[in-house]
Structure 1
Amino acid sequence: MLHAKTLISLAALSLLSPLAMSASAASAGVAAAPAEAASAARQPITRADQLPRRTVTLTKLPSEYLSAPLSELLAMGAQLEAEVKSDLARYDIQDASTLRSYYSALASLAQLRGDWAAVPAWTAKSRALQEKIGGQLSAGLLTDLLSQQRLEKRDAAWLRAEVEKRYSALPWADVQENVKSGKGGAETYNPELVLGAFRSQIDAMATNGKMVVPDSIALAIISNRLQAELFAPNKAAIVAGLQAVIDANTKTQARADLWTPRTFAIPAEAKATPVVVAVWDSGVDLALFKPAAPLAGLAFDEDAKPSRELLRPLGEAQSRWPQLRSLIKGAMDQRAALDTPDSRQFRATMSGLKAEQVKGFSEDMSLTSLYVHGTHVAGIAVEGNPFARVFAATQLWSAKLEPKLPNEAQARATALAYGQMVESFKKAGVRVVNMSWRYGPSAYEGALAFHNAGGTPEARKAEASRLFKIERDALRAAIAGAPEILFVAGSGNEDNSADFQEYIPAGFELPNLITAGAVDTAGQETSFSTFGKTVVVHANGFEVDSFVPGGARMKLSGTSMASPQVANLAAKLIALKPALKAVEVKALILQGAERMKGADGQPGRVNLIHPRKSAELAGIRL
Structure 2
Amino acid sequence: MSKLNLIPVAAAAALLVSLQGQTLAQSADAGKTASNTRQVITRADQLPRRSVTLAMLPSAYLQAPLDEARKLGTQLEAQLLADLAAYDIQDPTTLREGYTALATLAQLRGDWAAVPGWTAKARALQEKAAGKQTSGVLTDLLSQQRLEQRDAAWLTAEVARRYSAMNWTEVQDVVKSNRGAVETFNPELLVGGFKAQLDALASNGQMVVPDRVAMTIVGARMQIELLGPHKQAIVKGLQQVLDANTRAVAKADIWTPRTFAIASDAKASPVLIGVWDSGVDLSLFKTGAARGLAFDDDAQPAKALLRPLGEAEARWPQLRTMIKGSMDQRAALDTPDSRQLRATLGSLKADQVKGFTEDMALAGLYVHGTHVAGIAVEGNPFAQVYAGTMLWSHKAEPAKPSEERSRRTAAAYRSMVQGFKSAGVRVVNMSWRYGPSAYEAVMAYHNLGGTPEARKLEAARLFKIERDALHGAIAGAPEILFVAGAGNEDNSADFEEYIPAGLELPNLLTAGAVDQAGSETSFSTFGKTVVVHANGFEVDSPVPGGVRMKLSGTSMASPQVANLAAKLLALKPELKPTEVKALILQGAERLAGADGKPGRVNLINPRRSAELAGIKL
Q: TM tier, shorter chain?
A: over 0.9
* 1-structure distance, mates of 2:258, 2:204: 54
Letter in 2 for 1:9: L
TM-score, normalisation: structure 2: 0.96
Question: Equivalent residue of 1:92, what SS?
Answer: strand
* 2-structure distance, mates of 1:169, 1:22: 36
2:504 maps to which residue? Answer: 509
- Per-residue CA deviations over 1:395-419 (Å, capped at 9, x if unaligned) read 0000101011100000000000000
1:57 maps to which residue? Answer: 53
2:352 maps to which residue? Answer: 357
How does 1:113-262 map onto structure 2 within 5 Å? 113-262=109-258
Q: Could you say if the C-alpha distance between residues 30 and 11 of structure 1 is closer, same or farther in structure 2, counting changes exceeding 3 Å?
A: farther
Letter in 2 for 1:179: V
1:9 maps to which residue? Answer: 6
- Per-residue CA deviations over 1:303-330 (Å, capped at 9, x if unaligned) read 1111110111111111111111121222
* 1-structure distance, mates of 2:594, 2:496: 26
CA contact 1:453–1:460 (8 Å) conserved in 2: yes
Question: Equivalent residue of 1:137, what SS?
Answer: helix
Shift of 1:494: 1.2
1:605 maps to which residue? Answer: 600
Question: Equivalent residue of 2:254, what SS?
Answer: coil
1:584 maps to which residue? Answer: 579
CA contact 2:325–2:339 (8 Å) conserved in 1: yes
1:472 maps to which residue? Answer: 467
Q: Could you say if the C-alpha distance between residues 343 and 499 of structure 1 is closer, same or farther in structure 2, counting changes exceeding 3 Å?
A: farther
Shift of 1:101: 0.7
1:326 maps to which residue? Answer: 321
1:67 aligns with 2:63: yes
Question: Equivalent residue of 1:614, what SS?
Answer: helix
Q: Could you say if the C-alpha distance between residues 11 and 414 of structure 1 is closer, same or farther in structure 2, counting changes exceeding 3 Å?
A: farther
* 2-structure distance, mates of 1:612, 1:327: 37
* 2-structure distance, mates of 1:516, 1:347: 33
- Per-residue CA deviations over 1:541-563 (Å, capped at 9, x if unaligned) read 11211111112211111111110
CA contact 1:29–1:80 (8 Å) conserved in 2: no
Letter in 1 for 2:456: K
* 2-structure distance, mates of 1:21, 1:249: 34
1:264 maps to which residue? Answer: 260
* 1-structure distance, mates of 2:414, 2:591: 37
* 2-structure distance, mates of 1:20, 1:356: 16
1:422 aligns with 2:422: no
Identity rate, percent: 70
Letter in 2 for 1:470: I
Letter in 2 for 1:60: M
CA contact 1:18–1:224 (8 Å) conserved in 2: no
CA contact 1:23–1:217 (8 Å) conserved in 2: no
1:292 maps to which residue? Answer: 288
1:26 maps to which residue? Answer: 23
1:450 maps to which residue? Answer: 445
1:313 maps to which residue? Answer: 308
1:397 aligns with 2:409: no
CA contact 1:157–1:237 (8 Å) conserved in 2: yes
* 2-structure distance, mates of 1:21, 1:238: 26
Shift of 1:572: 0.5
Shift of 1:27: 6.4
CA contact 1:25–1:101 (8 Å) conserved in 2: no
1:463 maps to which residue? Answer: 458
Letter in 1 for 2:178: G
For these two proteins, the number of residue pairs brought into alignment is 613
Unaligned regions of 5+ residues in structure 1, if any? none
Question: Equivalent residue of 2:483, what SS?
Answer: strand
TM-score, normalisation: structure 1: 0.95
CA contact 1:23–1:219 (8 Å) conserved in 2: no
* 2-structure distance, mates of 1:21, 1:122: 23
Q: Could you say if the C-alpha distance between residues 390 and 362 of structure 1 is closer, same or farther in structure 2, counting changes exceeding 3 Å?
A: same
Letter in 2 for 1:426: K
1:531 maps to which residue? Answer: 526
Worse-superposed segment, 519-528 or 562-571:
519-528
Letter in 2 for 1:578: P
Q: Could you say if the C-alpha distance between residues 40 and 592 of structure 1 is closer, same or farther in structure 2, counting changes exceeding 3 Å?
A: farther
CA contact 2:15–2:189 (8 Å) conserved in 1: no
Shift of 1:41: 2.9
* 1-structure distance, mates of 2:20, 2:271: 42
1:281 aligns with 2:277: yes
Shift of 1:268: 1.2
Shift of 1:44: 2.0
Question: Equivalent residue of 2:520, what SS?
Answer: coil
Shift of 1:523: 0.9
1:553 maps to which residue? Answer: 548
CA contact 2:377–2:383 (8 Å) conserved in 1: yes
CA contact 1:209–1:452 (8 Å) conserved in 2: yes
Shift of 1:347: 3.0
* 2-structure distance, mates of 1:55, 1:105: 17
- Per-residue CA deviations over 1:336-364 (Å, capped at 9, x if unaligned) read 66555433432332222111110000010
* 2-structure distance, mates of 1:446, 1:472: 18
Worse-superposed segment, 208-217 or 9-18:
9-18
* 2-structure distance, mates of 1:220, 1:78: 14
Structure 1 segments, 4+ long, off by >6 Å, are none
* 2-structure distance, mates of 1:74, 1:462: 32
CA contact 1:495–1:530 (8 Å) conserved in 2: yes
CA contact 1:188–1:350 (8 Å) conserved in 2: yes
Letter in 2 for 1:205: L
Letter in 2 for 1:79: Q
CA contact 2:20–2:440 (8 Å) conserved in 1: no
2:535 maps to which residue? Answer: 540
Letter in 2 for 1:239: V
Question: Equivalent residue of 2:385, what SS?
Answer: strand
CA contact 2:180–2:331 (8 Å) conserved in 1: no
* 2-structure distance, mates of 1:582, 1:536: 16
CA contact 2:24–2:94 (8 Å) conserved in 1: no
Shift of 1:29: 6.2
Letter in 1 for 2:216: A
Q: Could you say if the C-alpha distance between residues 210 and 319 of structure 1 is closer, same or farther in structure 2, counting changes exceeding 3 Å?
A: same
* 2-structure distance, mates of 1:12, 1:376: 13
